[in-house]
Amino acid sequence: MKDSAVLLITCPDQKGLVAAVSGELYRFGANIIHADQHRDHDEGLFFMRVEWTLSDEDGQPFDIQAFSNAFTPIAQNFRMDSQLHVSAVKPRVAIFVSQHLHCLADLLHRHQMGELDCEIPLIISNHTDGEPLARFYGIQFHHIALTAATRPENEAKQIVLLEAAGVELVVLARYMQILSPEFVRRYPYRVINVHHSFLPAFIGARPYHAAYKRGVKLIGATSHYVTEELDDGPIIEQDVARISHRDQVDDLIAKGRDLERMVLSRAVAWHLDRRILRYGNKTVIFD
């Protein structure tokens, strides 16, 4: 829906939650087009996603600000952590990439086809390989080389670019650099990475080589939110492919590229569609 609003809720599980939310939306005349909920019985937590149109059949607009004001005391009463998003406000996304361009190319193509509802104002890379691709799609490309000695200075340059562009989400499309804790804290759970293994197996560098050496029969890829601990953030999506003793490292890498593209694009799309709720080191992904 291009003219809709989404309400995301996390709170302690208790009676009356669904009635309170749906009742208030009904009071404001909302036409709910999608609603989903989940309970984590072990944690005693309730999660909910509700989407509704911002105009009715007669073209009358939904007063989103009045609803937000009226919903505040309800959220406080039920101890809700709530997020209210309007689809007309497109998130601004920056893509970080190094030399492997398959995920970048996939994201840019999906964006051009309308599958990713966002703005992509810039691409940042520590190599120049992706510049022709960025130019083809009409997106600003910034080459910022990184070394151990220049990392703080050059990360500061990256942050200046992101802030100037109003970036909400950073996507690491095979960006082969470790972000500093300071960078991660600036964008909490707003950095999505793709790792070329089925986490938690084979963290760190060269996971396909490690998988080949171990003789696994399945390889995988994982998209996750970035935290200060390497490859340990909340997992958003994973997928696998079967391999055999005939496959060499190059075969694993080739098969893995398709997995990487798929899990990253799904994770980004779900984040943009406001379908993800995070708690602890887990995620709830609504249909």
143-150: which pairs have CB atoms within 8 A and are 24 or more residues apart?
146/177
Whether the Cβ atoms of residue 13 and residue 50 lie closer than 8 Å to each other: no
Q: Are strands 31-40 and 81-86 parallel, antiparallel or unpaired?
A: unpaired
Distance of CA 39 to the CA centre of its chain: 22
The CA distance from 168 to 154, in Å, is: 20
Q: How far is CA 209 from the centre of its chain?
A: 27
CA pair distance 190, 285, nearest whole angstrom: 16
What single letter denotes the amino acid at residue 276? Answer: I
What are the helix (H) ranges across the chain? 17-27, 64-77, 102-112, 131-136, 151-164, 181-186, 207-214, 249-272
Q: Is residue 231 annotated as part of the catalytic site, yes or no?
A: yes
Task: Please identify which of the residues 81, 231, 247, 251 carries the catalytic annotation.
Answer: 231
What positions carry a catalytic annotation? 231
